[in-house]
Amino acid sequence: MPQTTPYVTESNLTDLAIERWSNISDPRLRQVMMAMIKHLHGFVRDVEPTPQEWFTAIDWLTRTGKMCDDKRQEFILASDVFGVSMLVDAITNRLPTGATPSTVEGPFHIPGSDTFETGANMASGAPGIACFVTGMVRDLDGKPIGGAMLDLWQTDGEGLYEAQRGKDKYMRGIYYSKPDGSYIVRTVAPIGYTIPMDGPVGDLMSKTKISHFRPAHIHFAVSAAGYKPVVTHLFQRGDQYIETDVVFGVKEPLIVDFKKKASGKAPNGETLSEPFYEVTYDFVLQKAAKAQRAA
Ligand SMILES: [Fe+2]
């Protein structure tokens, strides 16, 4: 007699599971779950884990979940170091050549920073070498964009963010471009830093030869009415970790020169008694309507 329900075998189990998980009325969830079963089964067929190894994987995921709370998100960190966060970002932001590329926001952005006048210092009292970031905000045709908001956040000169210092309103600020599109930020130069290594992601990284450092960078979220906003970083050219960024965030157009200047007159008109850095970068935004058509 023919079987109405086939016996489960190594060869038919994947098809059976995909068929069962096709029984979902929401089309997007059905697509996601069928692909998840297909790739998860493919992974197991490729690796052929022992039951003990499979339990090790489950234990790692369990510990990763237990490491998550409102201040620490170990799953996002895992997504970052596996390159998945940047892949999702790349798929979400397919920008035309010439527009400022996006990168991941990361876990350290805090909304509601203070607004600073052009050239004012957002790093007052922070350790580090003074650093001026200047340039334009413009569109793809070179037209200046006045009134664009530049929301910045970064480490101080010792590699620590506000959350790690336990301070408030530290190493972050909002600037606006002037009517001619120009902007001047005064801050201190960031330095490279390690991802948190005291959790299951760190445990895994320590079994590899993979660098767990990010190169020095300043985070920017740039937005203006009528334009597609961009969340990105500027990276310091020559940083020792630039080619091995642990979260795969570096894109060539975002690597900028931190030019060392002798003490003297700075771009904001101040006279500095110590040497400082000068960084020049033009943010190029895509018109919002174009972005919507491409989506
Ligand atoms: Fe960062």
232 contacts: CB under 8 Å, gap ≥ 6: 100, 101, 102, 103, 219, 220, 221, 222, 254
CA of 106 to the centre of ligand 1 (A): 6
Using CA atoms, how far apart are residues 55 and 223, in angstroms rounded to an integer?
A: 46
Kindly state whether residue 197 falls inside one of the protein's structural domains: yes
DSSP character at residue 258: -
CA of 60 to the centre of ligand 1 (A): 25
Q: What pLDDT, in 10s, does the model give residues 63-86?
A: 999 999 877 889 999 999 999 999
- Both 25 and 132 in a single domain? no
- Both 31 and 128 in a single domain? no
* pLDDT at 107 (0 to 100): 81
- Both 40 and 96 in a single domain? no
- Both 151 and 234 in a single domain? yes
Q: Name the residue range of residue 44's domain.
A: 8-48
User: Both tokens of residue 174?
Assistant: 């909002």
CA of 51 to the centre of ligand 1 (A): 38
Q: How many domains does the chain have?
A: 2
CA of 37 to the centre of ligand 1 (A): 34
Residue 90 CB neighbours (<10 A): 17
Kindly tell me the sign of the dihedral angle through the C-alpha atoms of 62, 66, 69, 75.
negative
CA of 16 to the centre of ligand 1 (A): 44
- Both 138 and 272 in a single domain? yes
- Both 184 and 39 in a single domain? no
CA of 154 to the centre of ligand 1 (A): 6
CA of 58 to the centre of ligand 1 (A): 29
Using CA atoms, how far apart are residues 95 and 219, in angstroms rounded to an integer?
A: 19
* pLDDT at 166 (0 to 100): 86
* pLDDT at 294 (0 to 100): 47
103 contacts: CB under 8 Å, gap ≥ 6: 86, 89, 231, 232, 233, 249, 250, 251, 254
Question: pTM of this prediction?
Answer: 0.89
CA of 66 to the centre of ligand 1 (A): 23
CA of 152 to the centre of ligand 1 (A): 11
Return the CATH number at 132: 2.60.130.10
Print pLDDT tens along the chain (295 aa).
555 666 999 999 999 999 999 999 999 999 999 999 999 999 999 999 999 999 999 999 999 999 998 778 899 999 999 999 999 999 999 888 899 999 999 888 889 999 999 999 999 999 999 999 999 999 999 999 999 999 999 999 999 999 889 889 999 999 999 999 999 999 999 999 999 999 999 999 999 999 999 999 999 999 999 999 999 999 999 999 999 999 999 999 999 999 999 999 999 999 999 999 999 999 999 999 754 444 4
CA of 111 to the centre of ligand 1 (A): 15
CA of 191 to the centre of ligand 1 (A): 10
- Both 25 and 118 in a single domain? no
Using CA atoms, how far apart are residues 232 and 229, in angstroms rounded to an integer?
A: 10
Q: What pLDDT, in 10s, does the model give residues 140-156?
A: 999 999 999 999 999 99
Using CA atoms, how far apart are residues 121 and 21, in angstroms rounded to an integer?
A: 56
* pLDDT at 272 (0 to 100): 96
CA 176 to each of CA 4, 155, 156, 224: distance values in angstroms, whole numbers, following the listed order: 69, 21, 22, 10
